[in-house]
Amino acid sequence: MTEHATPGTVGFIGLGTMGCHMARNLLKAGHAVHAYDVRPEAVAEISGAVPAASIAEAARAADIVITMLPDTPDVEAVVLGPGGLADNPPPGGIVADMSTISPQAARRMHGLLAGRGVELIDAPVSGGPVGALNGTLTIMAGGSAAAFARARSFFAAMGTTVTHVGGPGAGQTVKLCNQVMVAINIQSCCEALALARASGVDLAQMREVLMGGSAASWMLDRLGPAMISGDASAGFRIDLMLKDLRLVAEMAQSLAVPLPGTALVTSQYVAARAHGEGGNGNQALFRVYDRMTNQVRD
């Protein structure tokens, strides 16, 4: 199948912050989408999608089922639980889990589904809700090359950088490495901004200047303005990053790789959640620095 192949049928499970945009982009690309979410109101918002009343109904006619769920137990429930995909495999024989979950769990599910004639691809994403909206996600896929080749045209409707990074679990592994860099980079932005603020420097101007030099980063570019203005509205939530950092810590321990920088940033995220920021976007990590430096915002 090429990226311009005949439109197919997608079972889409999990129409939250990311999934709603991804499903709309699949529809825009001409695919039929049979959508299921435990919150039927989330499905109702996807105009053009066929609402499914269960996982089985979403999978029934699907070439591929895509899951976009919060955490490992949610994906395990949808794949292996009662009424799940293992008992109701899509006729196309492909399940692509695009959530961020444990690489070990992804490998385990890959093996269990293979026994039912279904190929699991772990295909987490980077790019946030804006990337999901614009169809410009980075998609890192683990699984067999044959399954990836069949899923690729569907991924191409949602992302611009779509890469097969290895066998089962490799996509989740690459995604967790991505999160190590994202978290430490956000922390570096917070520290530079806190220092500049205490010195009385104009933060907006400093951000612009730094974006032209070697400290430029996606985080400073996209999250810097909200950090400076104090806008904490959610995109990628603090709670979700803490989930990812837990997965990173589990992987690092199992492989005996010390990650001191990540451990330190994780503590800052724990502090942010303790201060009630869990539902806010990642830029709200800067509010920890508001408190550490006794800055009072309106």
9-38 positions binding ligand NAD, by CB under 6 A: 13-19, 36-38
Is 43 a binding residue for ligand NAD by CB under 6 A? The answer is no
| Cα 138 off chain centre by | 10
In this structure, what token pair is assigned to residue 232? 């904490």
Minimum separation from the CB atom of position 2 to ligand NAD (A)? 27
Region of 64-72, 251-259, 265-273, 289-297 interacting with ligand NAD (CB under 6 A): 64-72
Distance CA 256, CA 247 (A): 14
- What is the token pair recorded at 164? 């097969």
The DSSP line for 160-190 is EEEEEEESTTHHHHHHHHHHHHHHHHHHHHH
Strands (E) in the chain, as ranges, are 9-13, 32-36, 50-51, 64-67, 94-97, 119-122, 125-126, 137-142, 159-166
**Residue of 34, 150, 175, 273 with catalytic role:** 175
Least distance in angstroms from the C-beta of 142 to ligand NAD? 15
Is 28 among the catalytic positions? no
- Shortest distance, CB of residue 197 to ligand NAD, whole angstroms? 26
**Should residue 74 be labelled a site residue for ligand NAD when binding is judged by CB under 6 A?**
yes
Helix, coil or strand: residue 9: strand
Q: Which of 23, 42, 46, 183 binds ligand NAD (CB under 6 A)?
A: 42
Residues that bind ligand NAD (CB under 6 A): 13-19, 36-39, 42, 68-70, 74, 77-78, 99-100, 125-126, 128-129, 235-236, 240
The residues assigned a catalytic role are 175
